[in-house]
Amino acid sequence: MEFIIRRMGREDWAEVGELIYTSINYWYHTHGSGPKFLNGPESTQLFCKIYEDLDPGCCILVENPNTGRIAGSCFFHPRETHISIGIMNVHPNYFGLGAAKVIMREILDIAAKEEKPVRLVSSAMNLDSFTLYNRCGFTPRQTFQDMYIEVPSSGLNVEAPALSGNVRDAQPEDATAIADLEQELVGIRREGDFAYFIENTDKWWHGSVIENENGYIDGFLFSVSNAASNILGPGVARTEEQTLALLHAELNHNTGRSPVFLVPTDCRQLVDNLYGWGARNCELHFSQTLGEWNPQTGIIMPTFMPETG
Ligand SMILES: CC(C)(COP(=O)(O)OP(=O)(O)OC[C@H]1O[C@@H](n2cnc3c(N)ncnc32)[C@H](O)[C@@H]1OP(=O)(O)O)[C@@H](O)C(=O)NCCC(=O)NCCS
C-alpha cells in the first residue's frame, strides 16, 4: 500500500491517542495477555503531550491516501549523542502492509543525515516488532525483565537497603551531573530530559539520586505516574546495591500502585532482592542499537517514556 508520510500536528492527537491505545491493546489481547492500557482511549494522548513537550514535531505518521485515516505513528527523540525511537504503532487494520517499515525508513534517514546511532527498547515477546527492527538492522544488546511490585499504601514493608541513607530527591541543579553520569556509564547524553522530569510541570514525575561518600551522584532513577504509564525509569547506577536503594525510594513514591520497572537480567543479586520484596515478572525486553554502540559499565533501567535503550 502507498502511504502518505507526514508529521503529527496538534489536531492529530485524538486520533494518534486512539491508535496507540487500540494497536497495543489489540496486539496483547490477540497474543494471550490482557490489555496494557486501561484508562480509555483518551489517556494515551499523554504520549503526544509529553513527547511534543520534549521534541516538538518529532512524530512520523503514515496516512491512508484514500480515507485520510492514520495507519501508523512513531515518535523519535533526537539527542546529543543518538536518536531513540518509540512508541511505534500501526492500526490493526493495516498490520502487515508495510506501514511500520515506511516509518522506520523515514526515521533512519533522519539519523543517517545527522550521522547518529539509533536506540530503542523492544519487547522480547513480540516477534512482529522484533522482526521489524531486526530487518532494519538493529542488534539486541541487553535483556531486561519487566518486574512489578504492589506497593502498599503505607509503603514497602521490607527492610530498607543498606545504602538508602544516601538517596535523596533529585533537584533542578542535578540535571547536568545526572547527564554526565549517564554519559560516563552508558555513552549517551540527554540532559534536557532530566531537566524536564525534575521541573515536573504536570506533577507526573519524580526523581531520586544516590550520592557517594564524597557527595557525588553515583546513580539516579526517575518515575512517571499518570493515566497512560506507571513505570520506574530511566535510571542508571554504578552498582546493584545503589540500584536497589534507588528502587526502594522510587517504589515508596508510588504507594498504592503497582509500578513496572525493567531490570537487567544479568543482575542476579538485584533480581533476587526484588523477588524477596515480592516482585513478579510481567514481560521481557531487549535494548537494541543500530550504529555505534559501546558496552555500558553501569546498571541501566530503561523505560518507554521516553525510550532509552
Ligand atoms: C510491530 C508493528 C508496528 C509492525 O507493523 P506493520 O506495519 O505490520 O509491519 P510491516 O508490515 O511494516 O512489516 C515490517 C517487516 O517485518 C516483517 N514482519 C513483521 N512481523 C513478522 C513476523 N512475525 N515474522 C516475520 N516477519 C515479520 C515484515 O515481513 C516486514 O519485513 P519485509 O517487508 O522485509 O518482509 C505492528 O504489528 C504493531 O503496531 N503492533 C502492536 C504495537 C507494537 O507492538 N508496537 C511495537 C512496540 S512499541
136 close to ligand 1 (CB < 6 Angstrom): no
Centre of ligand 1 from the C-alpha of residue 141, in Å: 20
Q: Average of pLDDT values for 160-182?
A: 98
Ligand 1: nearest atom to the Cα of 127: 23
Residue 221: its pLDDT value, please?
A: 98
130 close to ligand 1 (CB < 6 Angstrom): no
CA distance 280 to 43: 25
CA distance 277 to 279: 6
Residue 306: its pLDDT value, please?
A: 82
Residue 196: its pLDDT value, please?
A: 96
| Three cell numbers written together for 277 | 520484596
Peptide linkage before 87 cis (omega within 30 of 0): yes
Residue 173 predicted with pLDDT over 70: yes
Residue 309 predicted with pLDDT over 70: no
Q: Average of pLDDT values for 36-60?
A: 95
160 close to ligand 1 (CB < 6 Angstrom): no
Residue 117: its pLDDT value, please?
A: 97
Mean pLDDT score of the chain, rounded to an integer?
A: 96
92 close to ligand 1 (CB < 6 Angstrom): no
Centre of ligand 1 from the C-alpha of residue 18, in Å: 19
Centre of ligand 1 from the C-alpha of residue 108, in Å: 16
User: CB of 217 within 8 A of CB of 255?
Assistant: no
3 close to ligand 1 (CB < 6 Angstrom): no
Q: Give pLDDT tens digits for 201-256.
A: 999 999 999 999 999 999 999 999 998 899 999 999 999 999 999 999 999 999 99
Domains in the chain, please, with CATH?
Answer: 4-116 (3.40.630.30), 145-301 (3.40.630.30)
Residue 157 predicted with pLDDT over 80: yes
Residue 296: its pLDDT value, please?
A: 86
27 close to ligand 1 (CB < 6 Angstrom): yes
Centre of ligand 1 from the C-alpha of residue 135, in Å: 10
Centre of ligand 1 from the C-alpha of residue 118, in Å: 18
Residue 174 predicted with pLDDT over 70: yes
Q: Give pLDDT tens digits for 98-134.
A: 999 999 999 999 999 999 999 999 999 999 999 999 9
Q: Give pLDDT tens digits for 258-278.
A: 999 999 999 999 999 999 999
Nearest alpha carbon, ligand 1 atom 26: 131
Centre of ligand 1 from the C-alpha of residue 235, in Å: 29
18 close to ligand 1 (CB < 6 Angstrom): no
Centre of ligand 1 from the C-alpha of residue 92, in Å: 11
CA distance 26 to 288: 24
Three-state DSSP string of 91-124: CHHHCCCCHHHHHHHHHHHHHHHHCCCEEEEEEC
Ligand 1: nearest atom to the Cα of 71: 7
90 close to ligand 1 (CB < 6 Angstrom): yes
